[in-house]
Structures are given as C-alpha cells and as structure tokens.
Structure 1
Amino acid sequence: MSEQSPTFGRARILRNLLIGAGVTLVLTIGVGMARGYGPLATLKSFLHAHGRPHAPNFGLLAAAPIQIQLHVAAVTIALGIGVALLAGVKGNTVHRTLGWIWVVAMATAAISSLFIHRASAGHFSFLHLFAGWTLIALPMGVFAARKHNIRLHGRTMTGLFVGGLLIAGAAAFLPGRLMWQIAFG
C-alpha cells in the first residue's frame, strides 16, 4: 500500500466532519419538527438554548444512573483520544497505544449504551444501531490493522469516529435529551 499524502488525509477528515455536521443539522431539524416545531424554531432553540446560556449542570450527570455516567466517561475519553489519533502521526508506538485505549473506550461506550433506555422506556432506540455497528466494526478495524491493511483500518476507524462519536454524540444533544439539559437546559 502506498502512503497517502497528508493533504489528502486532512481533506478526508474535513469532509467527514462536514458530513457529520450536516447529518446532525438534519437530525436536529427532524426531531424538532416531529415534536411540532418548525425548522426555524428548532434551529433557534438549538443554537440559542432558549436564550439562557449557562455553565453545564453536571449535577444532572451525577444524579444519572451509573450506566449513563460510564457511557459519558467512555465517550469523552474516546472523543479526546480520537481527535489526537486523527491529527497525529500514524503507525508509531504512540498511535498504537492510544489506539488500543480508544478501542476499549469505544467498546465500553457501545456496551454501556445497550443498558440506556431513556429515549424509549425499556426499548432500544435508533441510537442503539450505532452501538451495534460499533461492536461489529471495532474488531474489523483492529483486524485490518493487524493484517497491515492500512486503508481499510483508516476508513473503519474514521467511520466509527464520525458515526459513533460525532453523529451519535450530536444526537445526544438534541432538545429534550439529558446532554441537552446538562449543556443548555
């Protein structure tokens, strides 16, 4: 396999981030409209948080069940490490070590999410599809790296970062959800 140029890699990351932002915008408007708001009212609510900016209310997270606390901790770790992995040098010892920590954090986030049913009491929601895919794709990405299939490894892990962390994470900040209440409510 030939190495990609740094510019191509950055362009792909930027494209994936823009796709994630677009999907988040569509989800935000869709959920708001499903709840009876127009698209502009939904965006205004999302962007301005009802005109009440404040510091995050971490007391709500402290009062949440342990599976939610574990999930948020794992997602936070995976997000921070994921950004460092995407921005850093690939293939060295630091990348491999952080990569294993990222895999454990992503697996923890996915497994813990299977025990969270606040959006649909007692049932799985569409967000649980991200957890299922993460539990399937993580071993595929690790296996690709072990077989030195760098292209498949990079695509799989970048896809998990964008889909499992950015898109699913943005859905956690939709109006009415716990993260929305912590950050904006």
Structure 2
Amino acid sequence: MATAAPVGKNVFDRVVTDRGLGIAAGIMLAVVAVAVARGYADWSRISWHVWAHLGLIATALALTPVMLIRPKGSRSHRVLGWVWASAMILTALSSLLIRDTNHGGFSVIHILSVWVLLQVPLLVWRARKHDVAGHRHGVRGIVFGALLIAGFFTFPFDRLLGHWLFA
C-alpha cells in the first residue's frame, strides 16, 4: 500500500508564522493609533466613511494577534473569527466609499477591496468544511496582503495616516 508523500510548506508558510503575523498586526495597530492621535486637529474634517473604515480596520487588526497566537479550533476562536471576518468584509465595503483621491473615482487599492470581498467568504467556507491547511493559508495571505502590506501603504505618499504620523 502506497502512502501519500507529505506536502511541504511553501516558502511563504515557512518564513511567515502565525506569531510573526500577529505581532506585526499589533505593531500596525499601534502605529495607526499613534497616527490617529497625532491627527487630532483634523478629526472634524474627516468624513464618516473614513472613520468607519478606520474603526473597522482597527477591529480587525486588534483581533488578528488574538486569532493567530491563541489555540485554534475552540469556540472562542470560531466566534472571534466571525467578528474578524465581518470586520474585514465591512472594511472592504467601507473602502469602496472612500474616493477622496483620483478625482472621485476608484483607484488601484480598490482592487484589494474586491479581493477581500471574495476571499473572506472563502476563508469561512474552508473553516466550515475543516480544510485547516487551506484556511490557514488564506488567513495568512489576507493578513499579510490586506492588513499589513496595504496598511503599510497608507503611510507614504501624503496619504491621511502618513500625513498625521509624519507631520
């Protein structure tokens, strides 16, 4: 009887750990909080949809370390997973309302919003069908791409958080 060869981890999964992503999400949340606090003088000029977006992304960033570092599969993991998934979907939807640049049109970053709107339900589906490896890989991809990389790019190029943080 032949046995299946073990599936090796890809480079991303070998280099990027749940703990590392969780710590990075916590750092990103702290940097966002500092930027928002430093932007106090501009708060009254910020539209409600930007505030909604910031609040939702802060929720997802705060839950990410909890979800990635604590044990998986528990009831609390599932409940917090639904909250995290909801925050991610609502964050993506709220970003579609933010069109303050590009003359009111959509920009390249909105492609990421559509990707999140497609991927998060897939993550939930994978978790519900107990595809642990697929769920883990998808979560790591969303955290890395949508929270950390996209989050990083909210700071340069005179964007709002960058302006607040570095002004």
CA distance in 1, matches of 2:139, 2:128: 13
**Could you tell me the TM-score, scaled by structure 2's length?**
0.77
Q: Per-residue deviation at 1:13?
A: 2.1
Q: Per-residue deviation at 1:63?
A: 2.3
8 Å contact kept, 2:155–2:161: yes
Q: Per-residue deviation at 1:61?
A: 3.7
In structure 2, the CA distance between the partners of 1:120 and 1:16, relative to structure 1 (3 Å rule), is: farther
Q: Per-residue deviation at 1:175?
A: 3.1
Correspondence for 2:122: 140
In structure 2, the CA distance between the partners of 1:70 and 1:128, relative to structure 1 (3 Å rule), is: same
Structure 1 residues 12-161: aligned runs within 5 Å = 12-13=16-17, 56-161=38-143
**Could you tell me the TM-score, scaled by structure 1's length?**
0.70
Q: Per-residue deviation at 1:12?
A: 2.8
Q: Deviations over 1:18-44 (max 9, x none)?
A: xx9xxxxxxxxxxxxxxxxxxxxxxxx
Please list every run of 5 or more consecutive structure 1 residues that lacks an aligned counterpart in the other structure.
Answer: 3-8, 21-54
Q: Name the count of aligned residue pairs.
A: 142
Q: Per-residue deviation at 1:83?
A: 1.6
Q: Secondary structure at the match of 2:123?
A: helix
Q: Deviations over 1:35-68 (max 9, x none)?
A: xxxxxxxxxxxxxxxxxxxx61234244211110
Q: Secondary structure at the match of 2:84?
A: helix
Please list every run of 5 or more consecutive structure 2 residues that lacks an aligned counterpart in the other structure.
Answer: 1-5, 7-12, 25-36
The amino acid across from 1:147 in the alignment is K
